[in-house]
Amino acid sequence: MGAKRDHRGGRERRPHVVILGAGFGGLNAAMSLRRAPVDITVVDRRNYHLFQPLLYQVATAGLSPAQIAMPIRRILSRQSNATVLMDKVEGVDTRARCVVTASRRITYDYLIIATGARHTYFGNDDWAEHAPGLKSVADATTIRARILSAFERAEVTDDPVLRERLLTFVVIGGGPTGVELAGAIAELARKTVVRDFRHIDSSTARVLLVEAGTRILPTMPPCLSKKAQRQLESLGVEVALGNAVAGCDVGGVRLADATEISSSCILWAAGVMASRAAMWIDAPADRVGRVVVDERLNPPGRGEIFVVGDTASVSDGAGQPVPGVAPAAKQMGRYAASAILDDLAGRQTAPFRYRDYGNLATIGRKAAVADFGKARLSGYPAWLVWNFAHLWFLVGFRNRLVVFLDWAVAYLRNDRAARLITGQHEC
């Protein structure tokens, strides 16, 4: 290959679409514009797209990071109108229509903000050190190292009090991530590693799921919450409802009712806060920081800016808020792309309507709950649907057969081969 042209030079000026974030929303917007007469720049501070619904599998050693992450460049390598920049967004100059990153200023004609969400400790940022959350690959390998190290340290110690603390795992938050983490840790302790130790019995490990509300999986119908709780309990998870966390420190968790739980492995799956996009564009935000957008996904008075995915606060048409799930982010990303095409063609765009295809949460290797409105599943059938759905939605960013082989092998072996304790502290 010879020298390459600059992507903006050497031909007529085409509208420039800048997309911030290469999660489900941003990536689907970029891919929907692949045949459009526009130049696209995708900015992400990471070099990979992450299949976040399976991140808990990395945290519990079932999959490797590379099995659920994919280089953004590779996904878009054949899309010649798209440029990828690995860079950190520092702000947006909405007047000059310009994104400011750590290294440069990028002018735009259309801006799609898809920078997602991160976890929040509701103002208790000192809890972060003791109760890591799960949003990035680094979070997942940190959590994996904490879970595995707890067993290792329990095997080495002669102190029964310390051993009990090391074998107590607390997951805070009863949403899908908390349920998946608690179920996977219980299976790890009771099945996968049970033959590996000589001094401890890993199956006596205590796994506690703490939820402030009155039921787990609050976005599901109550009957499925109950089924999920029963499935979790049959795996050995204790579910504590109606009890908020009042404090986390190196020794464990203190609950609102003053119960103290001694634990060396606390995981945070409780609070989510949108990225700083509302501040960048000086737009109104809801209480978790999401930009309040209209039914065209624009913030007030900014028809050239679209906010999609977990960064957007939007209603589904029936007045219900659109949930912060991958299918919603994908739909919003595609909608923003089509609204830009309509705008370029001088057409009107119909308002965004969220299509809810159902709601799924997995609990263990053979259990899940699924809500498709009229149809509700639980147990093994729900688990099969969950797997098929994940496989299906991976299409477009990774070879489906390879993923199927990867996961089939991981499932058949059931030995969580990715049980590596790595990280800065290893040396």
What are the residue numbers of the active site?
A: 180
- Out of 18, 92, 193, 235, point to the residue binding a second copy (CB under 8 A): 193
**Considering the complex, what minimum distance in angstroms separates the CB of residue 403 from a second copy?**
10
Q: From CA 78, how far away is CA 31, in angstroms rounded?
A: 11
**What stretch of H or E contains 82?**
strand 82-86
414 binds a second copy (CB under 8 A): no
The reply on whether position 2 binds a second copy by CB under 8 A is: yes
Q: Is 59 in the site for a second copy (CB under 8 A)?
A: no
Decide whether 125 or 426 has the Cβ nearer to a second copy.
426
Q: Does residue 395 interact with a second copy by CB under 8 A?
A: no
Q: Residues with Cβ < 8 Å from 341, sequence gap 6 or more?
A: 33, 36
Q: CB within 8 A of 170, min separation 6: which ones?
A: 208, 210, 252, 253, 261, 263, 265, 266, 267
Report residue 306 CA to chain centroid gap. Answer: 21
Number of residues that bind a second copy (CB under 8 A): 66
In three-state secondary structure terms, 348 is coil
**Least Å from the CB of residue 422 to a second copy:** 5
Cα–Cα distance measured from residue 294 to residue 307, given in angstroms and rounded to the nearest whole number: 10
Q: Of 96 and 402, which has the nearer Cβ to a second copy?
A: 402
Q: Does 141 bind a second copy (CB under 8 A)?
A: yes
Over the window 76 to 105, marking each residue x when it contacts a second copy by CB under 8 A and - when it does not, the resulting string is -xx----xxxxx---------------xx-
Q: Binding to a second copy by residue 320, rule CB under 8 A?
A: no
Which secondary-structure segment (H or E) carries 182? Answer: helix 176-187
DSSP letters spanning 12-40:
----EEEEE--SHHHHHHHHHTTTSSSEE
The smaller minimum CB distance to a second copy, of residues 250 and 427, is found at 427
Residue 402, interface with a second copy (CB under 8 A)? yes
Nearer to a second copy, 226 or 419 (CB): 419
H helix runs in 320-374, sequence order? 326-345
Q: Contacting a second copy (CB under 8 A), which of 258, 318, 375, 427?
A: 427
| Sequence-separated (6 or more) residues with CB below 8 Å from residue 171 | 178, 181, 182, 185, 207, 208, 209, 210, 267, 269
Task: Work out which of 105, 199, 353, 400 binds a second copy, going by CB under 8 A.
Answer: 199
Task: Out of 74, 191, 254, 276, name the contact with a second copy by CB under 8 A.
Answer: 74
Q: Under rule CB under 8 A, which residues in 146-165 are in contact with a second copy?
A: 148-149, 152, 155-158
Q: Which is nearer to a second copy, 86 or 285 (CB)?
A: 86
SS3 183: helix
Written as six digits, the tokens of 91 are 């702000």
| Binding positions for a second copy, 6-25, rule CB under 8 A | 6-7
| Helices 176-187, 222-234: crossing angle, 10 deg rounding | 20
Q: Which stretch binds a second copy (CB under 8 A): 63-71, 296-304, 350-358, 382-390?
A: 63-71
Q: In which residue are the tokens 């399976």 written? A: 54
Place of tokens 């995708």: 42
Task: Name the site residues for a second copy (rule: CB under 8 A).
Answer: 1-4, 6-7, 45-48, 64-67, 69-71, 73-74, 77-78, 83-87, 103-104, 136-138, 141, 148-149, 152, 155-158, 193-201, 203, 398-399, 402, 405, 409, 413, 415, 417-424, 426-427
